[in-house]
């Protein structure tokens, strides 16, 4: 297979993976966007490899992604098309961040990360359910840091479900790049809405890629500092222990060392979300392969041994690549109406030969050093 096709297939899988995460946490708008992007990439494959045996499965995938995007758009009743700029009301601003449906993911759906989940239970779930047991107050702001693809977003969504709360997801990078001129106003509107709802219902404000919003960089154009200050001001407004509202800010970052020190000080809990350990990797393989037929020689313990340092997202992609190998063989044999053969241990091993972990040991050392200085799980 050519490098160009491998790249496009990997890019399409990336968008589908992001769409599935969006869909799982109830963010149908972004899920539809990512399914559309995946369909566009598949159409590029169709146009560039018209005589390839895989053309039929490409067409089927593109059609299914387009239909899925349309279905999600209709369900969300929100347009995902990019229109002309117009002045937005405060209600319109907030609609960009509030999920219409509560996330469906629960803590039991997050594989591994038991220490992280317990810290979240102690900090958010227990105080929300029994505030009378916490006379000195409880943490309002929690930072989740660690390598990409290890479950930070799923954990935040699961918390919202556990406390039956409103889930507001803010993409920091998008906020700063698309709305820098209005970012201060948007931050204020988000917290104003949260305070209004938080009187009667728990609210989770999830800040994804927090370093994009609250990081400090050498070159700034002026607006970034103002947005940071507005955000810090809003965080200070949540820290009054005399107020019994249930508004929580969960921020996630892959680069905690980029964050402003004032921001770190306002986050009482700074929790490391590590790559999956051996037991979790085994469970991840078992979870993702439940959709496919496996040969008797597939041993999850062996796969867990061979994937030390791989993220949960890496493991999902390994399973998909191994399965795609069987599908590709099916189409090349021209037996389109047959079922793919079972996935073998050899299929997984061949994938692992050319797919290395997305997390380097150097990066893990950086998290370890940063955690020694700034981590605060207890």
Residues 117-137 have pLDDT tens digits of 999 999 999 999 999 998 888
Q: What is the pLDDT of residue 175?
A: 67
- Give me the half-sphere count of Cα atoms (radius 13 Å) on the Cβ side of residue 286: 13
CATH code of the domain made up of 1-79: 1.20.58.80
% of the chain surpassing 90 pLDDT: 34
User: Confidence band (pLDDT; 50, 70, 90) for 11?
Assistant: confident
Instruction: Give pLDDT, residue 286.
Output: 95
pLDDT digits (tens, 9 = 90+) for 230-285: 888 888 887 665 566 789 999 999 999 988 888 888 888 999 999 999 999 999 99
List of E strands, the chain: 141-145, 166-171, 203-208, 247-253, 269-272
Q: Can you tell me the distance from the alpha carbon of 274 to that of 280, in angstroms, rounded to the nearest whole number? A: 11
Contact 279, 112 (CB under 8 A): yes
β-bridge partners, 203: 166, 247
Q: How far apart are CA 2 and CA 39, in angstroms?
A: 20
- Residue in 269, 265, 234 with CA at minimum distance from that of residue 250: 269
Just give the CATH number of 90-275. Answer: 3.40.50.300
Place of tokens 């190998």: 325
CATH of 276-358, one of 1.10.10.60, 1.10.8.60, 3.40.50.2020, 2.60.40.3680: 1.10.8.60
Where, residue-wise, is CATH 3.40.50.300 in the chain?
A: 90-275
Helix (H, G, I), strand (E, B) or coil at 281: helix
Residues of the chain with CATH 1.10.8.60: 276-358
**CA atoms in the 13 A half-sphere facing the CB of 342:** 9
pTM, whole model, 2 decimals? 0.72
pLDDT at 83: 39
- Is 186 in contact with 226 (CB distance < 8 Å)? no
Comma-separated ranges of CATH 1.20.58.80 domains in the chain: 1-79
């Amino acid at each position: 297979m050519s490098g160009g096709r491998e790249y496009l297939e990997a890019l399409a899988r990336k968008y589908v993976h992001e769409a599935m995460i969006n869909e799982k946490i109830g963010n149908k708008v972004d899920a539809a966007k990512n399914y559309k992007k995946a369909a566009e990439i598949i159409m590029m494959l169709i146009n560039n490899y018209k005589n390839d045996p895989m053309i039929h499965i490409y067409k089927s995938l593109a059609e299914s992604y387009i239909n899925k995007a349309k279905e999600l758009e209709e369900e969300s009743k929100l347009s995902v098309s990019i229109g002309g700029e117009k002045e937005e009301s405060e209600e319109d601003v907030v609609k960009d961040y509030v999920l219409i449906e509560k996330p469906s993911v629960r803590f039991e759906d997050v594989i591994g990360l038991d220490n992280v989940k317990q810290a979240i239970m102690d900090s958010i779930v227990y105080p929300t359910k029994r505030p009378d047991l916490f006379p000195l107050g409880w943490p309002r702001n929690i930072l989740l840091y660690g390598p990409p693809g290890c479950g930070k977003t799923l954990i935040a969504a699961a918390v919202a479900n556990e406390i039956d709360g409103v889930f507001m997801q803010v993409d920091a990078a998008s906020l700063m790049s698309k709305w820098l001129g209005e970012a201060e106003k948007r931050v204020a509107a988000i917290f104003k809405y949260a305070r209004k709802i938080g009187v009667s219902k728990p609210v989770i404000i999830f800040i994804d890629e927090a370093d994009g919003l609250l990081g400090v960089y050498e070159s700034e154009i002026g607006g970034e500092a103002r947005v940071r200050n507005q955000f810090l001001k809003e965080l200070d407004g949540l820290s009054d222990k005399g107020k019994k509202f249930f508004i929580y800010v969960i921020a996630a970052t892959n680069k905690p060392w980029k964050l402003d020190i004032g921001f770190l000080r306002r986050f009482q809990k700074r929790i490391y979300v590590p790559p999956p350990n051996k037991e979790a990797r085994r469970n991840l393989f078992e979870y993702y392969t439940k959709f496919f037929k496996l040969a008797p020689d597939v041993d999850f313990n062996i796969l867990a041994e061979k994937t030390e340092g791989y993220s949960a997202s890496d493991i999902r992609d390994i399973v998909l690549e191994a399965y795609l190998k069987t599908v590709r063989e099916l189409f090349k044999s021209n037996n389109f109406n047959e079922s793919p053969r079972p996935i073998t241990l050899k299929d997984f091993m061949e994938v692992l030969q050319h797919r290395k972990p997305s997390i380097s040991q150097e990066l893990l050392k950086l998290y370890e050093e940063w955690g020694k200085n700034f981590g605060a799980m207890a």
